[in-house]
Amino acid sequence: MHTPEGKQPYVVPRELADDEQPAIVAGFWRLLEALEAVQNESPLVGLRISSLNSSNAILDNDPIGLSSWLAERLNGTELDNLHVMRGDFLGQQHGDVLTPIRTGFRGVLVGNMGYSAEEANGAIATGQLNAVAFGNAFLANPDLPERFRRGAPLQDPDPATYYTTGPAGYTDSPFLEPA
């Protein structure tokens, strides 16, 4: 489930909250209602969250609190997986959202954003995550699993080519030579 580009309709300003329900979570009840409606129509539903995301000048004053609250509420939703962006591409917000999410959420947890093969394997081995997604790394390395197996260097993705037309940045990255 994604909100439209640049929109986060589930968050309400702190001044609209009350003592019973903090502002960081008050609007997320609508998200949970939407999630239930989607689950009524589809047997497998995953949810991706990026509590630290500051794109489009959207900043949360307590992304860790929001993550904790949401993780606990998602336990009763029969969610197939919860996919968490662990950082902020723009570097505006910082914090560890994965630890409180893992503490509160008992389902399948997928981490994303800047993992090396070693770090991903370690996070899975320790139970912090069930899986790791490699979005940007795959754009520049269409043979990413083979590169990981061989310990080969990774090519850097080119963000200037994201969301553009043509092959640049998507299908023009060279593959490793066969072993």
All structural domains of the chain with their residue ranges: 14-133
Model pTM? 0.77
Q: How far is CA 26 from the centre of its chain?
A: 21
How far, CA to CA in Å, does 122 sit from each of 116, 119, 126, 170?
10, 5, 6, 29
AA letter at 1:
M
Q: Which backbone phi and psi does 81 adopt, to 5 degrees?
A: -160, 155
* Count of Cβ atoms closer than 10 Å to residue 31 Cβ: 21
pLDDT given for residue 27 in this prediction = 60
Q: Which residues contact 54 (CB under 8 A, 6 or more apart)?
A: 88, 90, 92, 93
Q: Which of 25-34, 88-97, 165-174 has the lowest mean pLDDT?
A: 25-34
96's tokens: 């560890």
Assigned CATH class of 14-133? alpha beta
What tens digit of pLDDT does each residue of 113-153 get? 889 999 999 999 999 999 999 988 888 898 999 999 999 99
Place of tokens 């903090």: 22
- Residues 113 and 52: their CA atoms lie apart, in Å, by 12
8's tokens: 């986060």
- Residues 174 and 143: their CA atoms lie apart, in Å, by 9
Are the beta carbons of 141 and 152 closer than 8 angstroms? no
pLDDT given for residue 114 in this prediction = 87
pLDDT given for residue 82 in this prediction = 92
What tens digit of pLDDT does each residue of 33-82 get? 777 888 788 878 888 887 777 666 666 677 788 888 888 888 888 888 99
* Count of Cβ atoms closer than 10 Å to residue 118 Cβ: 10
3-state secondary structure of 7: coil
